[in-house]
Every structure is written in C-alpha cells, then in structure tokens.
Amino acid sequence: MLLMGWFGFQTRKCFVWTGHSKRSTTFHGTGQSINNMGQQNSGFVVEIASPRLGRFQAVPQKDPDESNQEWRITVNPAAELVGSPRLKALIDRLYHHQKLWTIYDAKQIQSALQCMDPTSELLLPLLTVLSNATAFPGNQIIMREFRITHRVVDMLPESKHWPRSKRVILLQCIANMAVSSESREVIHGAIAHIIPRLASDDEMEVVVTMQALTNLSIVINKDDIPKFVPVIPHCLNRLWVRGEVNLNALRLLVNISCCPDMVPFMLGNKSVSGLLRILDTDREEVLTRAVTWILCTTSAVDALHLTYDRISQHNLDPFHNPSHTLYFSLYGPKGRDELEIQTRQLAAHQNPDIAKKAIRLLETLVNVPPFLAAGSHLNRL
C-alpha cells in the first residue's frame, strides 16, 4: 500500500492524509500493524504528492530502529537553483559574454531544465541561451553528453500548452540542434510531435517548425518515410504566401524530393494553382531551389520508371481525379509544355548553377513518358 504523507525526522509519528482530514499514526516495530489502518505489513514506500519546489525521491522505508535512524526523504538540490540569483547570473554571462560552455555550465543548465516550471520567467531567457549556444559544435557535444538535448525533446509534448514565445523558442532550439547529425538521431523520435505545429494559426510557429523539419529531413531513411508523408500537403498548401513563394516550404520540398521513395507520395498530393509560376521570379535563391526541386522529382520519376498507374494509389483526391495531382501539373500535356518552355529559358540563365540544372532537367524530361489522355484512367472501370 502507498501512504501519501509527510514523515517526521526526529519522531516516530507519521501524519497520514485521509480525505480532507489528517490523523496521527504511531509505529510499534517490525512485523506489527499500524493503528487505525488495519492489518498491514511493516514495509512500504513513501511518496510525496505535488511538492512546491523540486522533486522528491520515493525512498523505500522500514520501521525505524534505535540503531539506525537515517531513514529520510531526499529533496532534489537543484530546486534551489531555479529562480536564484546564481541562475540569473549564469544566463546573463552565457548570453552576453561567454559563447562556449564549460562542464559546470552544462550541469547547471541541465539541473535548471529538469525542475523549472513552464510558468517561470527564467525559462524563456534560458531557452534563448540554449538556442544561441547550438551554433557551436562543441556546445552541441556537451549538450548530448549531459542529456540536455534529450531533456529539450522531452519538453516538446507538454509545450503545446505553453505561451507562444516559449513554444517558438523551444522549437527553435530543436531546429538548431538538428543541424548536427548526432543530435538528429536524438530528435528523430519527436517528429510526430513537431508535425502538428504546421497547422498552427501562428505564422512564426509554422516557420520555425518548417525549419526544424528541413534540418531533420536532410537524410530520410525508409523507416522515416511514414513520418514525413503528412508534411507534404502542408508544404504544398503554404508554397504561396500572400502572392510570394514561401522559401521555407520550398526548402523542405527539396529535401523531400531528394529521397526517391518519397516522390510517389508527393506526386499523388493535390497540386497548387499556378504551380510553375515558381520558375518565373527574379529571386535567385527561390529560382535555384525551384529548379532543384523539379529536377530531383523528375530524376526520381525517371529512375523509378514512375507513371500515373504507380502514383494513383497515393492520389488524395476524393474522386481520384488524376488532373488534380502534382504529377499532372508537372507532366500532364499542358503542364509539361509549359515546364519545357520555361526550362529552355533558364538554360541560358546568367547563374551557371541554375543554367546547368535547367539543362539537366531538359535531358531528364525526355525520359519521362507522356501522360495518358484524359479519361483513359476510366478504361479499367
């Protein structure tokens, strides 16, 4: 039986909470019962419910004897750090003066993260310091060694109820940590908790979420494919924002298209109106990524010999209409003609990287078979 209560340290009395009242119970020695509690063995575990500060450790107890009275409840000493001038001084030093952490700094931050309440006013500056520190590979190593990276990942599920500023900075920490390949292995388990943030009404939260997923999708293994499939419609829906190409969504689509096994899922998604307008821009950072995305996608179609027959199982349209898919927008009769015209123009672009990729795209398009005539998919009915 678990007794919930506070035990005295110098007496043999125990105050046991029952309902809304409290009563005193006295121990009588090994093997005897406890008054007012019925027949009971003398071995039990004491647990403390909802301590105000810190975390109490559940310590196996026994009936105290005269020779050894060291039975006691252990309090987490890190509780003293939270809200203390020492922690404030540490945050100030790491934010303004010191970029590389010491082992002592890491231990202090790890202790603070373990017991800090989400409502604490120091949580936001502490996470800001953590986010900034990830820019240095040495700090990332220390974070993993002292399980700070693990702790940040563990905080993610509960953070959905936090205020906006704290939610965003925690996601930013994860996005920055994911730059490191070693840290990505720790963070990969949190992808399922990151993706729902793409549906947030807060634009900044969506942007940081896309940054985190972009860094996590640098390498997509076969086991990761089911995790990233739900990301695709969010990226396509946000490809255009207020008439401008969303660079964050485009970056993520490039990474997804670099995994050939992801391409059939992507091509089966609902297309975007005016998709190929992404190639009609003066912004080279957008144009480079747009050509790269279509080139990687087309290369996968060529390498895997993809046709609509193999894409159709991933068609998300309720009526399975092929003309609503991304595949049709790129390789359907009208879309393909427009794509070839714009790609020929880009082959003469002044940026050699864009021109080279445009030429490769034209060469690869030759190997993609023409899309079947409209209505031919009904022949199987």
Give yes or no: residues 89 and 27 share one domain: no
Are residues 155 and 290 located together in one domain of the fold?
no
Q: Is residue 236 part of a domain?
A: yes
Q: Are residues 115 and 9 part of one domain?
A: no
Alpha-carbon distance of 153 to 173, in angstroms, equals: 9
In terms of domains, do 289 and 364 share one? yes
293-322 per-position pLDDT tens digit = 999 999 999 999 999 999 999 998 888 899
Residues 254 and 185 in one domain: no
pLDDT digits (tens, 9 = 90+) for 230-274: 999 999 999 998 889 999 999 999 999 999 999 999 999 999 988
Q: Is the pLDDT of residue 224 over 50?
A: yes
Q: Does the pLDDT at position 68 exceed 70?
A: no
Q: In this structure, are 355 and 246 located in the same domain?
A: yes
Can you tell me the mean pLDDT for 263-286?
94
The amino acid occupying position 216 is L
Answer yes or no: is pLDDT of 50 > 60: no
Residues 162 and 292 both lie in one domain: no
Q: What is the mean pLDDT of residues 332-339?
A: 94
Residue 9: pLDDT over 50: no
Q: Which of 22, 53, 75 is the last residue of a domain?
A: 75
Same-domain pairing of 20 and 164: no
Quickly tell me which residue has 């912004």 as its tokens.
Answer: 283
Which residues, at least 6 apart from 282, have a Cβ–Cβ distance to it below 8 Å? Answer: none
**pTM of the predicted model, to two decimals?**
0.76
First-to-last CA distance in the chain?
66
Predicted confidence (pLDDT) per residue in 182-215, tens digit: 999 999 989 999 999 999 999 999 999 999 999 9
Distance CA 349, CA 358 (A): 9
Task: Find residue 16's DSSP bridge partners.
Answer: 5, 23
Residues 340 and 325 in one domain: yes
Q: Which of 75, 101, 116 is the last residue of a domain?
A: 75
CA dist 77 and 214 (Å) reads 39
Q: Count CB-CB contacts under 10 A for residue 79.
A: 19
Q: Which residues contact 124 (CB under 8 A, 6 or more apart)?
A: 165, 166, 169
Q: How many domains does the chain have?
A: 3
The Cα–Cα gap between 321 and 318 comes to: 8
Note whether 62 and 85 are same-domain residues. Answer: no
Domain span including residue 252: 217-381
Average pLDDT of the residues in 84-93: 89
